[in-house]
């Protein structure tokens, strides 16, 4: 009898341990018995919260499902706008399991990859429908938010059979296909070059106008300055002439003296000049006598 107690105790402990299971934090558990989900009395799948739980050993199988928010970072896909233009859109979706029992059944045992493949197809169809009635300009403007909200609402309504809830849907990047981008780049470059040529032509035209105006202003200023100088010089010459005339009228001999000095200055301007004159002529009267005597 004592020999059977130890093996029996070991079996009991093993069965007890096999009946325990732990659900980690951030996950939920569902139990299948003979391949069927264990349900509550109201025919709703029994969901096991994080913690320690019991099951029937050998007959029950525990399946854990991630209850956290999942991010499906979708690959880039090509769509056609209402203008029949191709765009490459990179988007992402945030979702979580809402009905764990339905999710388990719809995805073949709670397979995340299967769920995301089905979700991706539905989101892509929704985006294709909305983008097909939207222009490229609207996609890159504020209407993009409206498009995404519409697709999000449609996805929330259409994924109930998967047991998931779509929380958020966003476009990360919008690109044009490489061949279209190159064509647009060439067209934009040609337009910019045309604008640059026009601006350069306008600049040269304005430069010519400014240069002509500047030359006219310079010529006008020089002409005015020359006119002012001539008037000033004429007034000065008139005053000098008047002063000379007044002085000569008062002193005729002084006028004769000044005139002789000017004649001497012009006659002996160069050292190589040679004059052959009679020293007794009137030309030298002020050289011979400072008073002009002969």
Tokens of 100: 């764990």
- pLDDT, residue 74, reads 67
- pLDDT, residue 173, reads 85
Helix (H), strand (E), coil (C) string for 231-264: HHHHHHHHHHHHHHHHHHHHCHHHHHHHHHHHHH
Phi, psi of 275 (to 5 degrees): -115, 130
How far is the C-alpha of 145 from the C-alpha of 139, rounded, in Å?
9
Q: pTM here?
A: 0.58
- pLDDT, residue 278, reads 56
Half-sphere exposure at residue 151, Cβ-oriented, CA atoms within 13 angstroms: 29
CA nearest to 123, candidates 146, 153, 101, 80: 153
- pLDDT, residue 134, reads 87
Domain 70-181: top CATH class: alpha beta
Tokens of 235: 């007034």
- pLDDT, residue 270, reads 61
Over the stretch 136-163, which tens digit does the pLDDT of each residue have?
Answer: 888 888 778 888 888 888 887 777 788 9
Helix (H) or strand (E) holding 174: strand 164-175
Tokens of 294: 């002969």
> Which positions of the chain have pLDDT values less than 70?
1-3, 74, 179-185, 247-248, 250-294
- pLDDT, residue 279, reads 58
């Amino acid at each position: 009898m004592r020999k059977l107690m130890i093996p029996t105790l070991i079996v009991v402990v093993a069965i007890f341990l096999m009946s325990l299971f732990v659900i980690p934090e951030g996950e939920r558990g569902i139990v299948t018995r003979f391949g069927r989900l264990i349900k509550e009395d109201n025919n709703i799948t029994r969901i096991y919260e994080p913690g320690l739980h019991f099951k029937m050993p050998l007959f029950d199988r525990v399946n854990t499902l991630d209850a956290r928010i999942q991010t499906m970072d979708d690959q880039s896909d090509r769509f056609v706008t209402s203008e029949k233009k191709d765009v490459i859109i990179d988007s992402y979706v945030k979702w979580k399991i809402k009905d764990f029992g339905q999710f388990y059944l719809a995805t073949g045992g709670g397979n995340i990859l299967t769920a995301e493949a089905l979700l991706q197809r539905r989101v892509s169809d929704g985006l294709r429908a909305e983008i097909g009635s939207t222009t490229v300009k609207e996609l890159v403007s504020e209407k993009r938010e409206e498009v995404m909200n519409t697709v999000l609402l449609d996805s929330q309504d259409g994924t109930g059979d998967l047991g998931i809830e779509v929380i958020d849907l966003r476009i990360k990047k919008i690109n044009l296909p490489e061949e279209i981008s190159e064509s647009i780049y060439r067209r934009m470059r040609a337009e910019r070059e045309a604008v640059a040529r026009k601006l350069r032509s306008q600049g040269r035209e304005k430069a010519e106008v400014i240069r002509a105006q500047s030359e006219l202003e310079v010529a006008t200023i020089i002409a005015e300055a020359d006119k002012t100088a001539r008037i000033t010089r004429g007034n000065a010459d008139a005053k000098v002439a008047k002063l000379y005339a007044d002085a000569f009228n008062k002193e005729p001999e002084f006028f004769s003296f000044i005139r002789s000095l000017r004649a001497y200055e012009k006659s002996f301007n160069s050292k190589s000049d040679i004059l052959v004159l009679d020293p007794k002529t009137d030309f030298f009267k002020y050289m011979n006598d400072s008073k002009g005597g002969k």
